Amino acid sequence: MEVLPLRQPVDKKKKDQRIALEKSHTVYQRSKVGLSISLMNDLDCYTSDRALRILGCGALLLVKSFSMMSVLGLIDGVNCLAWGTAEEAVEKAKLALSPDADPIRKTGAELAREHHGWGTRMEEMMAYVNAVRSAR
């Protein structure tokens, strides 16, 4: 089971508290901003599913830029805030915490709801399954 570390422990007596992945949505739902940095940022069109979980929970996605983001519908300043350098990340984080970011947050949640739900993923998977079956 993957767990997510908390920045500040809930119980100050325990130093290493974590939130199980299946409960991470509770954190994102209470957050204005969610940060997504993929370890494999050099792969085309790849990001952690964390980005879509953040969007789906209604938090604003602050994401390290990756190639072909637009394939997932991610557009900097429209439905997420993307950055490339640490300096850009700081500026984008300031914007993310301002009221000006509310429309971006809302558009990101709509993107997740309309294009990245389980129904969409199952349709995509069935296309692969059908292609494999027809190739036999």
- 63-113 pLDDT, tens digit per residue, is 999 988 999 999 999 999 999 999 999 999 999 999 999 999 999 999 999
In angstroms, how far is CA 42 from the centroid of its own chain? 17
What integer best gives the mean pLDDT of the chain? 85
Domain 31-135, CATH: 3.40.50.2000
Mean pLDDT value across residues 107-126: 90
How much is the pTM? 0.75
Cα atoms in the 13 Å half-sphere on the side-chain side of 25: 8
Domain boundaries, the chain: 31-135
